[in-house]
A and B are shown apart, each in its own frame.
Chain A
Amino acid sequence: MSEFCADLYRYRELIWALALKELRVRYKRSVLGFLWALLNPLLMMIILTLVFGTIMRFSIDHYAIFLLSMLLPWTFFSQSLAYGVESVVGNAQLLKKVQVAKLVFPVAAVLANIINFLLSLLPLALLIVLLRFPLHWTWIYLPVPMLGLILFTLGTCFLFATANVFFRDVSHIVQIILSAWFYVSPIIYSLDFIPQKYRFYFRLNPMLYVLNGFRLSIYYGLLPSVQSVVMSLACGIGALVIGFGLFRHYQDSFVYYV
């Protein structure tokens, strides 16, 4: 783990440049450019608010905010993974020609999406004000669940990026895993909706702990318990230890398989 941090620091400029490159390429040749990073989530949120505020009414107050408080971090996770899984294979040309620390590619993919995610919080705050929903002071606590989420995302990306080098099927499977994972995580619903006898199984999902802090501080205006914070960080660190460990173990043979 200390090696991971050292590499992160050592290659910080390269990682930053690669992440910016990723974003530049994503928004290149569009008239509005970087504005899309704000506009896209805003438009999506407006649609969701209209659908759930007027057409399908749930018994949850301000369902749109309830949903978005977890949907945005989830979107960050799923997009990071979609990019991250291809990050090593996609840079095959580079890996085969120059010696480069391989970890920069998954990390840059996640970093690009962190920037996107942070930008999407602005339209969320705007929407909350427009809907006259309270903008809770607990927003200032968001960096804590964000840390857990980022660590968890990094770990997962390392894991899938490694697997994808050896089995290209992984990049297809990831989409399926993500959509299944989305529905078993309490994002569009609350854990309270699940019958007591099944709840145990839902609690085995690390995503539950990783995302929990976001809804608590954005929607409920509550600080999570110490136990919940510990769980979220534990899931993040655990994922990173496993994912990076695997990545590091196999990284020298990547060049023969990409």
Chain B
Amino acid sequence: MNGLALEFVDVVQRFRVIRERPDTLRELFSGLHRGSNRTTYHVFEAVKHVSFQIPHGATVGIIGRNGSGKSTILKIIAGVYKPSSGQVHVFGSIAPLIELGAGFHHELTGRENILINGLLLGLSKRQVRDLEQQIIDFAEIGEFIDAPVKQYSSGMYMRVAFAVATAVDPDILLVDEILAVGDAGFRAKCFERIASFHERGKTIILVSHDSSQIREFCDRVLLLHNGELIADSPPDEALARYDELIGQSQQQKVPAIPER
């Protein structure tokens, strides 16, 4: 293994943005009828020619305004999206902490969901069974573990989901703004766990709007703007550019207030 955990080479991700619901046969037939030059979608480039390299053991923050392509990049890393062009190389196993609890079924108990979620994240059944107690302890939900998930409070739900996702022990951890989980005590525990990943030389990629989080954890920051990578630098520089960007957009907005 070389020293790289992750490499993006000129990655482009395009989406079709649909104007109307096209997913019916009528759409197909009307398209055929009128000729194929009438499109009901336009192509949107969410990520534009982005290249970067991340070495093993780095903690890298990704910042940018809403819709700048941060989450899309995380999903490309996680393998959810295959990029439209360019190359992505991932060296090592990945655990996504992207929108926790996606695989949870409300009728099933916490324990049953832990198994399914663990298997979805690539663990074997035995590994999940071995980790189960640790997950339950970390999530601090006690006997609720055998109650259906629909009876959980949102905090309990998130705690279980976080505990499963981080129990996987990946080489690369993807964190997408989920650290607003639970009360202050639990949040501190989550940060502690992420910090321990860092200490053990794991690679962490963190998407956040919280500049203090970014300063505390990251040794490097990627700043995205409209799908382009406009800064790849130490946190302070990138955060300064980010503040500039936000400032600019607010200045632009000022004249938009109608005069009386």
Give complex CA distance A98, B77 in Å. 10
The residue from A21, A95, A97 contacting B99, defined by CB atoms under 8 A apart: A97
B133 at the interface (CB under 8 A from A): no
A233-258 interface bits toward B, Cβ cutoff 8 Å, 1 = contact, 0 = none: 00000000000000000001001110
How far in angstroms is the closest Cβ of chain A from B22?
A: 9
A99 and B79 contact, Cβ closer than 8 Å, known pairs A13-B124, A94-B102, A169-B25: yes
A-B contact count (CB 8 A): 68
Give complex CA distance A14, B118 in Å. 9
Instruction: Mark out the residues of chain B between 77 and 120 whose CB falls within 8 Å of any chain A CB in the assembled complex.
Output: 78-82, 94, 96, 98-99, 102-103, 105, 107-108, 112, 115-116, 119-120
A21 touches B119 (CB 8 A): no
B260 at the interface (CB under 8 A from A): no
A98 touches B121 (CB 8 A): yes
Q: Tell me what chain A mostly uses at the interface: helix, strand, loop, or mixed.
A: helix
B80 touches A255 (CB 8 A): yes
The residue in chain B whose Cβ has the minimal distance to the Cβ of A93 is B102
Give complex CA distance A99, B174 in Å. 13
B120 touches A94 (CB 8 A): yes
B20 at the interface (CB under 8 A from A): no
Give complex CA distance A254, B7 in Å. 25
A162-177 interface bits toward B, Cβ cutoff 8 Å, 1 = contact, 0 = none: 0000111100000000
B112 touches A24 (CB 8 A): yes
- Residues of chain B within 8 A (CB-CB) of A255 are 80-81
A17 and B116 contact, Cβ closer than 8 Å, known pairs A99-B79, A99-B80, A167-B23: yes
B80 touches A24 (CB 8 A): no
B124 touches A29 (CB 8 A): no
- Residues of chain A within 8 A (CB-CB) of B15 are 256
B16 at the interface (CB under 8 A from A): yes
Give complex CA distance A97, B80 in Å. 7
How far in angstroms is the closest Cβ of chain B from A256?
A: 7
B107 touches A17 (CB 8 A): no
B24 at the interface (CB under 8 A from A): yes
B125 at the interface (CB under 8 A from A): yes
A252 touches B82 (CB 8 A): yes
B8-34 interface bits toward A, Cβ cutoff 8 Å, 1 = contact, 0 = none: 000000011000000111101000000
Sorting the interface of chain A by its residue count into under 10, 10 to 19, 20 to 34 or 35 or more gives 20 to 34
- Residues of chain B within 8 A (CB-CB) of A252 are 82
* B105, B115, B120 — most chain A CB neighbours (10 Å): B120
A152-189 interface bits toward B, Cβ cutoff 8 Å, 1 = contact, 0 = none: 00000000000000111100000000000000000000
B119 touches A17 (CB 8 A): yes
A28 at the interface (CB under 8 A from B): yes
Instruction: Mark out the residues of chain A between 1 and 39 whose CB falls within 8 Å of any chain B CB in the assembled complex.
Output: 13-14, 17-18, 21, 24-25, 28-29
A17 touches B125 (CB 8 A): yes
How far in angstroms is the closest Cβ of chain A from B164?
A: 12
The residue in chain B whose Cβ has the minimal distance to the Cβ of A100 is B120
The residue in chain A whose Cβ has the minimal distance to the Cβ of B125 is A13
A13 touches B119 (CB 8 A): yes
The residue in chain B whose Cβ has the minimal distance to the Cβ of A13 is B125
The residue in chain A whose Cβ has the minimal distance to the Cβ of B102 is A97
- Residues of chain A within 8 A (CB-CB) of B75 are 96-97
A94 and B103 contact, Cβ closer than 8 Å, known pairs A99-B80, A167-B24, A167-B28: yes
How far in angstroms is the closest Cβ of chain B from A249?
A: 13
How far in angstroms is the closest Cβ of chain A from B90?
A: 10
Query: What are 28 A-B pairs with beta-carbon distances under 8 A?
Result: A14-B119, A14-B120, A17-B115, A17-B125, A21-B112, A24-B112, A25-B105, A25-B108, A94-B103, A94-B120, A96-B75, A97-B75, A97-B96, A97-B98, A98-B78, A98-B80, A98-B96, A98-B102, A98-B120, A98-B121, A99-B94, A99-B96, A167-B23, A167-B24, A168-B23, A168-B24, A252-B82, A255-B80
A21-B116, A256-B15 given; 17 more Cβ-contact pairs under 8 Å: A13-B124, A21-B105, A25-B108, A29-B107, A93-B102, A94-B120, A96-B75, A97-B80, A97-B96, A98-B78, A98-B103, A98-B120, A99-B78, A99-B96, A166-B23, A167-B23, A168-B23
